[in-house]
Structure 1
């Protein structure tokens, strides 16, 4: 290698390196560098370009510079504002800095030119092999790094010599400053080739790893990015439309949690769900489910209560204004108010109002809510057979919802409303669960302070709810459920009570509904009594309200079409508005008859009289029952005939009488199903009358069950039965001795004009009912 020494201006480069063969421009602003360039322009325009080891050093010394740099020729100088000089240089060859002159105003170095002689030592085959190897690896690199222009790639791949290709690659690929310095210091061609091959191989691996990572990240980010972009676009659209909502749903939820009256555990659960919601894609199905769940939790009144009105006088006034009669119910509600005012506690009884339809069970619950100033929630349980209706659906199911109990709290907005569980006797069960069993926890005062709804999953306090249930009968209510409730019987209304209800409540209500003013329609008391007795047959007042509505509609037609000022309804013109009477009471028989006895029955619509007929004829001892009787009545008839046969000697009946005669028991209205434990003594009396040929008193009616030994057992529905007897103009009613306590609770208004006779044995029944034999 031939070497020579010379002195030349040196320019220190910060953050860049210039390779031989590179044409590049850069800016300089340090005075020493500017002076070095100007000095070079005055001589042969040659400078030595050395890279600084640390770009932050302002006044570099020899130790701060790499030893080997590039000798370059200055091609152009441009002065820029701010004492900046833009220099265009062309790298020519490598040079080594031997030393710097110590006292110079700019950097002047003593250099040694470096020449590579290994190229001459390489055979043409070796050079071709190295050229092809470099070309192949560069092709791979150009595939991975698409930022290198096609023209540059083409120029590099068309290079015919190894050194030319090495220089072109070093100049055009984006290497770091350190990488370029390595190539500058590799004077030996073979050494430079090897280092460049290693660099390109490493770059290829780096690019491949980067591409794999980017693909994985892109796969995860793309959807979120798309959602984000769409949301941002939606936000801009809303802003343009003036519908901007800058606060996110999650932030709204967090603000709502802060205001929520609830325990710490409840708030923590809601916050956890909100954090889950934040991290979900906005348009995912799970996001919608979680959002609905959070909204439900926030809408529940965890610790929010309303203040009850505990004024007894106010409560009594409201109940009396809204309802006539129902003394027991009113008394029980006022007792509850009195206890609440003394204890100040939220424990509430569970009342169950039992009675026929139309007797005001549902409406009195609304009046109680009004009297107590409570929120009113009505839950109809008729026909509910899915346990999820009470306990809610599990959130794993699509379309899951909370149960009716929790939904009621949500709509009430407070944790102490009044709940009306309507038609509790009509809940049923199937393969989806037992609804009545689900109600056990709801109505148990010891358990319902931590009621768990499958949807909400957080225990909900139901202990401060005032539950009032309604039922038509207790027979179909499961015993465990019945045990949790306090029964209050709502009995049938008397005709007098119906008259008061019509005058004080119904007429005003139906007139308002049909647009009539007070003076446009008048209904006389006699007309009302006629409607009650001749056009309705019920325990409650629903049909009475319908008939009054019918009169109002026809009166409205007359007022409009005939320009009348007032319509008067009297007993005489009642047929004009309602047609002929639909119901006539089966009155007491006019004369005493053999084998015909009047019994008393209870139906879901109130009481009714039941005439039982018995005929005896010669035969072979057959015993026949007709009139569509149920099993209980058939058994009562068989018990009655057994009793009669057991006492036949006492009443002078021949022993062979029952083997030679057929007995036929019939209850008229054969198409109507009849069953119940209250016709035993009636059928036994009718059979004894027919056998003895002794008539039964026409003005008597009876109710009671019979045993084989002739004892009379108690029955239910006594008030309704006595009402039916009174309507039929019966004078004497035989009642089981054990029902004496029930008769004492019946008002004197009902008992007025009717005699009650208590009986304990069948012998007593026969003594009162059979007409004495003439002597």
Structure 2
């Protein structure tokens, strides 16, 4: 079952210019009266014409408060037109489907059980209340690097049929990648969450903000706060997200169906105002057994020899307990190197 929900909350499109509004209203009134009287000979009074002119002026005046189609680039206008009838909500439609999704995530990443369980319970409650698709509370995953926090979010998007996007804010503290920038700027772009919805037509993507603890406070030359931390506040608040103003498109979108996962190594570096809008889940470092289980699944998936698991075990044992290199990234990197060697032709 496909469910569509409104996405544009303010924008309006008119197929004619302002000076044609009165003509269309006149034609509409004549058609209504013709249908009621079963005659095509309709004569409008001066009072009718005056009401039409007054209504046309009000409509044209209201248009100034919305985005004008002529002020958008052609590709932007096309993107907005595609979602003018709404966007889809993808994911489970029954409690059984939510159970299957939760079980699949747990089977692949059992060490992330604290997060999987909360997301699964949120999806079940959403469906029980009459909702459809993936929906869970904004979640902050706190834990050491290399435990699969970003991978979890991407797999959730893949398994549920929703789109997903990962935004790494460790390289820049500006919030333009999340909220977008003013269209009047020379290099302006929409935020990646909005861009993802416009490209896919799916209104409940999984958006990952990676390493949010490394984002700082940034202000423009005019004193405006442009940091990603500030930009996320309105998107994570349910009330403001339902009618969120996009600086690039200069109109409002319903972003309340977006699913947010933020990752951090340390939660203390995140402002309290942002932490209060999220559920915080701590994820411990992986044990050696959990790393080997991951390695075994990857070896089978890639069609490699089982002996490689023993090689990875010796590699992990070379690092002391709690060493930062004992993580999924290390295992995946060595598996990639081994797979590349196995598939590279030998020069003779």
TM-score clears 0.5: yes
SS in 2 for 1:446: helix
Is the Cα–Cα contact under 8 Å of residues 531 and 547 in structure 1 kept in the other structure? Answer: no
* Distance in 1 separating the partners of 2:308 and 2:173: 47
**Residue 274 of structure 2 is aligned to residue 529 of structure 1:** no
Q: CA deviation at 1:391?
A: 3.2
CA 1:489–1:344: 2 relative to 1, 3 Å: same
Partner of 1:408: 196
SS in 2 for 1:429: coil
Alignment of 1:135-214 (within 5 A): none
CA 1:547–1:394: 2 relative to 1, 3 Å: closer
Partner of 2:142: 354
- Deviating runs (4+, > 6 A) in structure 1? none
Alignment of 1:372-411 (within 5 A): 372-411=160-199
CA 1:546–1:524: 2 relative to 1, 3 Å: closer
Larger Rg: 1
SS in 2 for 1:312: helix
Q: CA deviation at 1:526?
A: 4.3
**Residue 97 of structure 2 is aligned to residue 314 of structure 1:** no
Partner of 2:274: 481
1:717-764 superposed Cα distances (whole Å, 9 cap, x missing partner): xxxxxxxxxxxxxxxxxxxxxxxxxxxxxxxxxxxxxxxxxxxxxxxx
SS in 1 for 2:139: strand
Partner of 2:39: none
Partner of 1:271: 14
Count of aligned pairs: 283
**Residue 283 of structure 2 is aligned to residue 540 of structure 1:** no
Partner of 1:469: 262
* Distance in 1 separating the partners of 2:14 and 2:212: 38
Q: CA RMSD in A?
A: 3.2
* Distance in 2 separating the partners of 1:373 and 1:361: 19
Is the Cα–Cα contact under 8 Å of residues 141 and 280 in structure 2 kept in the other structure? Answer: yes
CA 1:504–1:379: 2 relative to 1, 3 Å: same
SS in 1 for 2:229: helix
CA 1:470–1:263: 2 relative to 1, 3 Å: closer
Q: CA deviation at 1:350?
A: 0.4
Partner of 2:205: 417
Alignment of 1:271-350 (within 5 A): 271=14, 275=17, 289-300=72-83, 303-309=86-92, 310=94, 311-345=97-131, 348-350=136-138
Is the Cα–Cα contact under 8 Å of residues 241 and 255 in structure 2 kept in the other structure? Answer: yes
Partner of 2:337: 550
Is the Cα–Cα contact under 8 Å of residues 349 and 467 in structure 1 kept in the other structure? Answer: yes
CA 1:302–1:408: 2 relative to 1, 3 Å: farther
Q: CA deviation at 1:431?
A: 3.2
Query: If the length of structure 2 is used for normalisation, what is the TM-score?
Result: 0.70
Is the Cα–Cα contact under 8 Å of residues 448 and 461 in structure 1 kept in the other structure? Answer: yes
SS in 1 for 2:165: strand
Is the Cα–Cα contact under 8 Å of residues 242 and 253 in structure 2 kept in the other structure? Answer: yes
SS in 1 for 2:140: strand
* Distance in 2 separating the partners of 1:263 and 1:318: 30
Partner of 1:630: none
SS in 1 for 2:14: helix
1:469-511 superposed Cα distances (whole Å, 9 cap, x missing partner): 1122212211111111111112111111111111122x245xx
SS in 2 for 1:384: coil
CA 1:288–1:407: 2 relative to 1, 3 Å: same
Is the Cα–Cα contact under 8 Å of residues 300 and 413 in structure 1 kept in the other structure? Answer: yes
| Residue from 442, 445, 450 that aligns with 2:235 | 442
Alignment of 1:746-757 (within 5 A): none
CA 1:301–1:380: 2 relative to 1, 3 Å: farther
SS in 1 for 2:158: helix
CA 1:551–1:383: 2 relative to 1, 3 Å: closer
| Residue from 158, 168, 171 that aligns with 1:370 | 158
* Distance in 2 separating the partners of 1:455 and 1:528: 48
Structure with higher RCO (Cα < 8 A, 6+ apart): 2
Is the Cα–Cα contact under 8 Å of residues 106 and 113 in structure 2 kept in the other structure? Answer: no
* Distance in 2 separating the partners of 1:482 and 1:491: 19
Is the Cα–Cα contact under 8 Å of residues 163 and 196 in structure 2 kept in the other structure? Answer: no
CA 1:500–1:344: 2 relative to 1, 3 Å: same
More strand by share: 1
Partner of 1:241: none
SS in 2 for 1:464: coil
Is the Cα–Cα contact under 8 Å of residues 391 and 454 in structure 1 kept in the other structure? Answer: yes
Is the Cα–Cα contact under 8 Å of residues 164 and 207 in structure 2 kept in the other structure? Answer: yes
CA 1:543–1:461: 2 relative to 1, 3 Å: same
Query: If the length of structure 1 is used for normalisation, what is the TM-score?
Result: 0.33
CA 1:345–1:287: 2 relative to 1, 3 Å: closer
Q: CA deviation at 1:440?
A: 0.3
